[in-house]
Amino acid sequence: MRVLFFSSIFPRSWNVTLGIYCQHVCRALVDLGHEVRVVSPKGWMEPRGRDPRPAHGLEGIPTEYPVYVYPPRILQSRYDRFMALSSHAAMKRVFDQFRPEAVLSYWAHPDGAVAARFARAAGIPSGVIVGGSDVLVLAREPGRRQRAVIDALHANSAVITVGRDLARAVRALGVPSHKVHVVYQGVDKALFAPGSAAEARKRLGIAPRGRMLVAVGSLLPVKGIDVLLDAVAALAKKRDVSLYLVGDGKSRPALERQAERLGLKDRVVHFAGKVDQRALPDWYRAADLTVLASRSEGVPNVLRESLACGTPFVATQVGGVAEIAEGTDCLLVPAENVPALTAAIERSLALLDQRRDDDGGASSPGLMTWEESTQQLVELLGQ
């Protein structure tokens, strides 16, 4: 099948971690023998430097990055119109030369709306993968923006969610059940696999002492890192523990100040910054426990990656997190509850102490490869 992938959330040479999920899907499509072209509008406020690989994209996937012009922070319900106009020349070129048989997009609005518009004009099916916040946050905002998100979902031939919780949210917006499909994200099992914690800590330059926690993700308010820091402060009074925050974001300065006030910075809490995808497995292997303290989530793949590396997790019971925890002994707690999070981390570490690491780590039932996950997407597009 010839598939056109359309999304502004796709890796760039200056931001290779943006839309890593989308890159995995496109890479798996190619590995499965399908032809893929990518059109990824880049905002006019993004870096102005020329991407050195505009004709080939990342990992050799032909990619175009048309400049997407829009008025910042106003008329957001009409962003699909601005994106469609900005992307018209690139999309026309791809449709004329590549002649796709289906269009797949990521993010409901404006991306999914634009993809559906071009697909409908060409008389081919379109599928939109919802990311989580586009349905759980934007679609709940009253007014025109909410209507724009809902209209985008209805405009596509299929709406694909990465978990059952998101599927329920989509159906609650009035999208017919027959159009809503659950396709769980895949895991690169060749990359994310169990390994020696001691060797991983050695490669990362981490002292092999005490229990180690890791939190992987953007440092944003929704991720609840402030709550996690308070929990670690309470925990550090009782046992030798360290927390490594892998990721970056606008909340980092405030979180560093909080860690400083709590007397944790550089002693218990360490800010590792943004890490390349291929370096992530060592962080999971080095850790005794992955912690996710988010206030809101879709179905976070970081927890699947952690399980694939044999590391259990403690997480807040938000979004589709419970779906990942099914069949494991990983603990879930309410969001924004410091005592509950502290107790769950302490209990999980106590269980690890009892096992003395003899059980080979956490179980990981039902984890699919990216090829298995993407094959389901292809079958939906072909229906």
Least confident interval from 44-53, 119-128, 139-148, 211-220? 44-53
One fold for both 2-186+370-381 and 197-355? yes
Distance CA 349, CA 239 (A): 10
pLDDT at residue 97, as a whole number: 96
Residue 144 has pLDDT above 90, yes or no: no
User: Counting every residue, how long is the chain?
Assistant: 383
Least confident interval from 36-50, 226-240, 245-259? 36-50
Q: How confident is the model over 105-110, as a mean pLDDT?
A: 96
DSSP secondary structure string for all residues of 109-176: IIIIHHHHHHHHHHT--EEEE--SHHHHTGGGS-SHHHHHHHHHHHHSSEEEESSHHHHHHHHHTT--
Confidence of residue 362 (pLDDT cuts 50, 70, 90): low
| 31 phi, psi to nearest 5 deg | -65, -30
| 102-106 and 126-129 beta bridge pairing | parallel
Q: What is the pTM of this model?
A: 0.83
CATH classification code of 197-355: 3.40.50.2000
Each residue's pLDDT tens digit, 166-223: 999 999 999 999 999 999 989 998 999 999 999 999 999 998 778 999 999 999 999 9
| Domain 2-186+370-381 class in CATH | alpha beta
pLDDT at residue 219, as a whole number: 96
Residue 359 has pLDDT above 50, yes or no: no
Residue 347 has pLDDT above 70, yes or no: yes
DSSP secondary structure string for all residues of 16-81: TTTTHHHHHHHHHHHHTT-EEEEE--EETTS--SPPS-TTT-GGG--EE--EE---TTSSGGGHHH
Each residue's pLDDT tens digit, 309-340: 999 999 999 988 999 999 899 999 999 999 99
pLDDT at residue 57, as a whole number: 60
Residue 54 has pLDDT above 90, yes or no: no
Confidence of residue 42 (pLDDT cuts 50, 70, 90): very high
Each residue's pLDDT tens digit, 288-313: 999 999 998 888 999 999 999 999 99
Q: In the chain, what are the domain boundaries?
A: 2-186+370-381, 197-355
User: Buried (b) or exposed (e) across 30-43, using 16+ Cβ within 10 A?
Assistant: eebebebbbbbbbe
pLDDT at residue 73, as a whole number: 87
pLDDT at residue 291, as a whole number: 98
Confidence of residue 53 (pLDDT cuts 50, 70, 90): very low
pLDDT at residue 36, as a whole number: 97
